[in-house]
Amino acid sequence: MGLADDMRQHVVDTFFGPEPPEGIRRLFAPDRAFQAALLFEHWQFLQGFPRWVGSIIAGTPHLDVVQYEVDNLYGELIHDATAEHGHYALVLDAGVEAGLSREEILRGPPGPKMARAIDDWYAIARERPWVEAMAAVHGTEMLADQRLKERPGYRYPYQMGDESFLRGSGYSPKGRQFLATTRADTEHAGRAAALVERYAVDAATRAAVMETFRRSMRDMGLYFEALVERADAWRGRFPP
Ligand SMILES: [Fe+2]
């Protein structure tokens, strides 16, 4: 297997295997508190994402990597053809629809575990070589990769962006729209993984990439724990 498939398999084994983390289970069966928690915490995560991408751009000598990163950020932040604006605006709108105020989403702060994960992604972006940071940062998009379904051990009959899942999911209309935009992450994560594979040419670099990628997936584990903690804390505010 190549590096990209190794990464996808690690994501399947960690998050979509026989015993997925609680946060993944609830993502696929969300109550109102979980929906609000997801949008609130995801917004906090999104504040870091373009800055981590900036460090990849600053570190790489390769124009195709810079082109990819600009293209990715344009869809996320400015405009996606499948949405009215970029994905960011949609997350705020969906958060308001879920019962939060725009102000409280913007104000934050992230829950303690999300804060730890975000700090670590900043550390990776600052301290690790760009090719490792690229695997780590875009690994966060790989959780929505449609290609995970083709890997051995993937336990769900659908992915989070699939219409067949979203229709009966219990997500509100804008929440569904937000999750539908994660379909773009198949391309985002796939192109990033292909570029990492192209430029991680020797065995030592490939091993370092996988190590930093696994570190980022431990941070994703914290991300999902933060969702569960926030949803549990908000159960009284958003009764089922
Ligand atoms: Fe993306």
**Residue 148 covered by a domain:** yes
**Residue 239 covered by a domain:** no
* Residue ranges in the chain assigned as alpha helix (H): 3-15, 22-27, 32-59, 63-73, 87-97, 102-107, 112-127, 130-142, 163-166, 173-181, 184-199, 203-233
Q: Give the CATH number, domain containing residue 92.
A: 1.20.910.10
**Residue 169 covered by a domain:** yes
Taking only the tens place, the pLDDT of each residue in 144-203 is: 999 999 999 999 999 999 999 999 999 999 999 999 999 989 999 999 999 999 999 999
Taking only the tens place, the pLDDT of each residue in 205-222 is: 999 999 999 999 999 999
**Residue 22 covered by a domain:** no
**Residue 81 covered by a domain:** yes
Cα–ligand 1 centroid distance for 235 (angstroms): 29
**Residue 238 covered by a domain:** no
Cα–ligand 1 centroid distance for 105 (angstroms): 20
Cα–ligand 1 centroid distance for 205 (angstroms): 25
Cα–ligand 1 centroid distance for 240 (angstroms): 30
pLDDT of residue 79: 77
Taking only the tens place, the pLDDT of each residue in 4-57 is: 999 999 999 999 999 999 999 999 999 999 999 999 999 999 999 999 999 999
**Residue 106 covered by a domain:** yes
Taking only the tens place, the pLDDT of each residue in 146-163 is: 999 999 999 999 999 999
For residue 175, give its domain range: 3-17+30-233
Cα–ligand 1 centroid distance for 158 (angstroms): 18
pLDDT of residue 80: 72
Report the C-alpha gap between 205 and 62 in whole angstroms: 17
pLDDT of residue 67: 97
Q: Is the pLDDT of residue 1 over 90?
A: no
Question: Letter for the amino acid at 134?
Answer: M
pLDDT of residue 16: 97
pLDDT of residue 83: 63
Cα–ligand 1 centroid distance for 188 (angstroms): 5
Residue 130 near residue 59, CB atoms below 8 Å: yes
Looking at the 3D structure of the chain, how many domains does it have? 1
Report the C-alpha gap between 149 and 45 in whole angstroms: 25
Taking only the tens place, the pLDDT of each residue in 60-95 is: 999 999 999 999 999 888 877 666 677 888 999 999
Q: What is the pTM of this model?
A: 0.96
pLDDT of residue 178: 93
Q: Is the pLDDT of residue 137 over 80?
A: yes
Report the C-alpha gap between 194 and 101 in whole angstroms: 39
**Residue 213 covered by a domain:** yes
How far CA 86 is from CA of 90, 127, 157, 177, in Å, comes to: 7, 29, 28, 12
Residue with tokens 């969300």: 30
Which range has the worst mean pLDDT, 82-86, 106-110, 232-236?
82-86
Who has greater pLDDT, 134 or 84? 134
Residue with tokens 């804008």: 174
